Amino acid sequence: MKRRRVRTPPVGQERSGAEHAAELIHQRIQLAQRLLETSDLPVDSVAEKSGFSTAANLRKHFSRAVHTSPQAYRRTFAGPRAS
């Protein structure tokens, strides 16, 4: 499975409120991706630490942007865990 990243808008362009909201979601998804790759935190905790109000909200935005669930992403991209 090829790793998908969310695109960022070009720097220097004026943005609307919707574009600011989209950028904020993008940044939150990137943080969630790092947490899923590097920690064993439950998805509820990943959602909280990355700024989503609930795990359901994280799953909705994550699936739209990355085209997979947080759990599937973790299974695919998580590094080895210490025992």
pTM listed for this prediction = 0.76
* Amino acid in position 13: Q
For the stretch 7-62, pLDDT in tens is 665 665 566 788 888 999 999 999 999 999 999 999 999 999 999 999 999 999 99
35 vs 39: CA distance, rounded Å: 5
Burial class (CB in 10 A: 0-12, 13-18, 19+), 12: exposed
Could you tell me the domains of the chain?
Answer: 19-77 (1.10.10.60)
